[in-house]
Structure 1
Amino acid sequence: MASNTGQMGYLPSGGAIFCTIPDILYLPELVFGGLVLSLVASTLVDPPNPQAYVISVAIFCFIVSFLWLVVFACGSHRNKSTWASADVAYHAFAALLYLSASVLLALITILYSLASGSINYKLNIAAVVFSFLTTLLYVIHTVFSAIRWKSF
């Protein structure tokens, strides 16, 4: 019998990754991460270093999440518990990276709001919202991946 979190001790492959709870979150993570990347890249802020960090985190997580999705879709993981633990480790690391980037982006947005109320401020607000939503998706993915990992 199939369940929403997948079978215990089972890593899905192929089209089954779109039917289990932790793995179905790959697509929203990629969409929201891409939105963060495009929104931050379209703004201009005087201290560029925090924005560069946010873009670096977004690019890194986007590429690795896409590769992780491809590995699971192709079935290259061979149903081993090491892949389940690597899944938990990666998503926890990505959640931590996105949390740090989100807080930094929110701080820069608050400081930038004091300078002007231009379109860049509105884009930064949208980027902050999507950045925190992406962080939440990675945290949820980490929790459900940890539950699946414990079943091995």
Structure 2
Amino acid sequence: MASNTGQSGFLPSGAALFCTIPDIFYLVELVFGGLVLCLVASTKLVPNNPQAYVISVTIFCFIMTFLWLIVFVTGSHRNKSSWASADVACHGFASLLYFSASVLLAFITIGYGTFNKGALEYKLDVAAVVFAFLTTLLYTVHTIFSALRWKSF
């Protein structure tokens, strides 16, 4: 009988993907990453470079997570342990990128505050920081559960 955490030595595909613990995070990561992208894109880019980095990270991770989801849903991974290790590496890299972007976004939001911004834009920046850290947490939890599954192979 397959365990609910996906740690029974197999990689799910198709509809079974949405029943295992590490893989159920794909949709939540996509939603929260999209929220971060929308919130950062809706504010004025002051200063330009740090927020451009945050947008680049969110776009990269969104596309990477979506493509990874498609690989697992279509069953292209063929149930091999190399895909499990690639899943750990992929989500670990995404969590590091999101952590760096979250810290940078928080630093810029705290540093500039309401300087040259209205109260609404400041609230959007604060919401972007909160969702960026939540997305970082989701990617980190996904990495931990994927590592546990990889270890079971």
Unaligned runs of 5+ in 2: none
- Which residue of structure 1 aligns with residue 91 of structure 2? 91
Aligned-residue offset at 1:2: 2.9
- Which residue of structure 2 aligns with residue 122 of structure 1? 123
Letter paired with 1:5: T
Question: 2:82 is paired with a residue of what secondary structure?
Answer: helix
Matching of residue 81 in structure 1 with residue 71 in structure 2: no
CA contact (8 A) 1:45 1:112 kept: no
CA contact (8 A) 2:40 2:51 kept: yes
Percent of aligned pairs with the same amino acid: 75
Matching of residue 139 in structure 1 with residue 140 in structure 2: yes
> Whole-Å Cα distance in 2 between the matches of residues 12 and 27 of structure 1?
15
- Farther off after superposition, 117-126 or 35-44: 117-126
> Whole-Å Cα distance in 2 between the matches of residues 43 and 58 of structure 1?
15
Unaligned runs of 5+ in 1: none
Cα deviation code 1:74-111 (max 9, x no counterpart) = 00000111100000000000000000000000001001
Aligned-residue offset at 1:64: 0.6
CA contact (8 A) 1:54 1:105 kept: yes
Aligned-residue offset at 1:7: 4.4
Letter paired with 1:20: T
Cα deviation code 1:1-60 (max 9, x no counterpart) = 232212421000000000000000000000000000000000013211000000000000
Question: 2:113 is paired with a residue of what secondary structure?
Answer: helix
> Whole-Å Cα distance in 2 between the matches of residues 151 and 118 of structure 1?
50
Letter paired with 1:56: S
- Farther off after superposition, 62-71 or 39-48: 39-48
The two structures have a TM-score, normalised by structure 2, of 0.96
> What root-mean-square deviation, in Å, do the aligned CA atoms of Structure 1 and Structure 2 show?
1.0
Matching of residue 46 in structure 1 with residue 62 in structure 2: no
- Which residue of structure 2 aligns with residue 27 of structure 1? 27
- Which residue of structure 1 aligns with residue 112 of structure 2? 112
Q: In the superposition, relative to structure 1, how do residues 118 and 7 fare at CA in structure 2: closer, same or farther (>3 Å)?
A: closer
Segments of 4+ moved more than 6 angstroms: none
Question: 1:52 is paired with a residue of what secondary structure?
Answer: helix
CA contact (8 A) 1:98 1:134 kept: yes
CA contact (8 A) 2:8 2:149 kept: yes
Matching of residue 13 in structure 1 with residue 13 in structure 2: yes
